Amino acid sequence: MVILTNEVLIFLTRSYNMQNKPKHFATGQYTPQQKETLRASGYPAASRETFKVPDKFSYANTALEKLPCNLCDGNSFEVIATRDRNPLPVTTVICRDCGLVAINPRHRADWYRHYYREEYRNQMARFKGLSRAAVYTPEYHFNKTVPRGRALLELMQPYIKSGLTVEVGSSAGGILYAFREGLGVSVLGIEPSPEEAAFARLRGIETIESLIEDLTVEVPKAENVLSFRSLNHMLDPRGFFLFANRHLELDGRLVLEVMHFLNVAKEYQYLPRAIQIDHVFMFTPQVLRQYAQAFGFEVIYEGTDRKGGHMYLVARKVRDEATGADEQRAETYGETMAAIRDIHSSAALFFLNHRVPQYANRHLYKTKSALKRVLKALGLYTARRK
């Protein structure tokens, strides 16, 4: 019987990720079809020829910073993991005072700016084992998020107000496009990716190119502030909630979709699967609610998506000033730690139950696709009738 240690599993996972590295990332070149698509969209010439992805991105030998808790300013932490899902050496802790989970110590802000510019999409493609870089074009993200935006609007429309709607982390503008289409409201995006912000503007979505932490442009008062799957990536969630409070009219709505840390870990029965280096903060429903209440909001709706991997929160602004977390501190540490201890967290079982079937399915798909191409070339392939 072979015993799979964590070290062996880390080696196997890294080998798996490298074998599934998208071929086009080796040269950073778009395919001819991608180039034609981007030319047709009027995409900036300097961006459409290459991905600008380096041959190798370094995660080592960079300065780290250790910070107090972003929610309660506490300094008492317990380490719960030392690797993320990729598996990179990442120290994840939980605050003993309020239950907030975070990477601490973490890379500095300038490292994260470089990471999002040069490596983020590349790493995501490797993790998902994608064989084509085409899925990481702004056009792909726009086309994918418009239907998701329509579904989100259908779910949350009873809580959305008529008026300016600002999205933080708006990507290529697909969700704002759906909100404008469905509600007829004016929209504004804030997005750090130059390529995705430029694409959004081509689709008529006014977009400010900036990290929320670096924002210097004046943003007008809004009726709705949205953030879908972006809060985990922010280096200062407290700053985001303060931004929302300051830029919303009284009774304005804060609408969030955030990864459910515990549900993802429970689904895979492996804690590092719920941790990734770009998710600087990780949230439970209790902690997310705590942030909203501490910074001037009253929660009016909570829920999860169909699989439970992401949670929704809608809150209305009830006061202009944010009192801070000290007055609203939640005692969620014990509850969260109890849930973490119930997770089996076996690296061997995770690899066998999830990585191996994932690897097999992708190779089966590649084999079927190759066979289909051969049959088409021989004139023997007939498309299945729907």
pLDDT tens string 103-142? 999 999 988 888 887 777 777 776 766 644 556 688 888 9
16 vs 191 pLDDT, higher one:
191
CA distance 290 to 119: 32
pLDDT score recorded for residue 376: 78
Distance of CA 227 to the CA centre of its chain: 11
pLDDT for 141 equals 86
Confidence tier at 216 by pLDDT (50, 70, 90): very high
pLDDT digits (tens, 9 = 90+) for 298-326: 999 999 999 999 999 999 999 987 665 55
Q: Provide the residue type at 17 as one letter.
A: N
- What's residue 9's pLDDT? 46
Q: For 26-74, list the strands marked E by DSSP.
A: 64-65
Length of the chain: 386
Residue 188, classed as helix, strand or coil, is: strand
User: What does the pLDDT read at residue 377?
Assistant: 80
* Token representation of residue 307: 């699989």
Query: At 54, is the pLDDT very low, low, confident or very high (cuts 50, 70, 90)?
Result: very low
Q: Note the pTM of the prediction, 2 decimals.
A: 0.77
CA 106 to chain centre: 17
DSSP code for 320: S
Confidence of residue 45 (pLDDT cuts 50, 70, 90): very low
Alpha helix (H) residue ranges in the chain: 6-19, 32-40, 45-48, 109-118, 120-128, 138-156, 174-183, 194-202, 237-247, 261-268, 285-294, 333-341, 347-350, 356-377
Q: How far from 206 is each of 157, 170, 240, CA to CA, in Å?
A: 22, 10, 20
- Which secondary structure element, helix H or strand E, spans residue 229, and what is its range? none
- What per-residue confidence (pLDDT) applies to 178? 97
> Does the pLDDT at position 385 exceed 80?
no
**Omega before residue 285 within 30° of 0, cis:** no
> Which amino acid appears at position 160 of this protein?
I
Identity at 102, one-letter amino acid code: A
pLDDT digits (tens, 9 = 90+) for 243-285: 999 999 999 999 999 999 999 999 988 899 999 999 999 999 9
* Helices 237-247 and 285-294, axial angle in degrees (round to 10): 50
- Per-residue confidence (pLDDT) for residue 331, from 0 to 100: 73
φ, ψ (nearest 5 deg) of residue 287: -70, -40
Work out the average pLDDT over 48-73.
71
CA distance 148 to 156: 12
pLDDT at 90 over 80: yes
**How much is the pLDDT for 46?**
35
Q: If pLDDT is split at 50, 70 and 90, which confidence band does 59 have?
A: confident
Task: Provide the 10 A C-beta neighbour count for residue 69.
Answer: 22
Residue 267, amino acid = E
The average confidence (pLDDT) of the chain is 81
**What's the one-letter identity of residue 380?**
L
Task: Report how far residue 335's alpha carbon sits from residue 353's, in angstroms, rounded to the nearest whole number.
Answer: 28
pLDDT of the residue at 86: 83
Tokens (6 digits) for 217: 């442009």
| Most confident region among 8-22, 207-221, 330-344, 361-375 by mean pLDDT | 207-221
pLDDT at 381: 67
Provide the token pair at 10: 């880390």
**Short-list 339, 346, 202, 327, CA closest to 269:** 346
The Cα–Cα gap between 56 and 176 comes to: 34
Give whole-number Cα distances, 29 to 52, 128, 366, in Å: 8, 20, 21
Q: What share of the chain is helix, strand, coil (3-state, %, to 5)?
A: 45, 20, 35
Q: What is the pLDDT of residue 158?
A: 95
Express each pLDDT in 336-360 by its tens digit. 999 999 987 776 676 676 667 666 7
The pLDDT confidence band at residue 183, using thresholds 50, 70 and 90, is very high
Lowest mean pLDDT segment, chosen from 62-76, 106-120, 196-210, 366-380: 366-380
Mean pLDDT of 11-19: 45
Whether the Cβ atoms of residue 165 and residue 188 lie closer than 8 Å to each other: yes
- Cα-Cα end-to-end distance for the chain: 47
- CA-to-CA distance for 187 and 164, rounded, in angstroms? 6
Q: Is the pLDDT of residue 65 over 60?
A: yes
Beta-sheet pairing, 77-83 with 101-103: unpaired
Q: pLDDT over 90 for what percent of the chain?
A: 55
Mean pLDDT, to the nearest integer, of 179-186?
A: 96
| Biggest CA-to-CA distance, the chain | 72
Burial class (CB in 10 A: 0-12, 13-18, 19+), 7: exposed
pLDDT of residue 30: 43
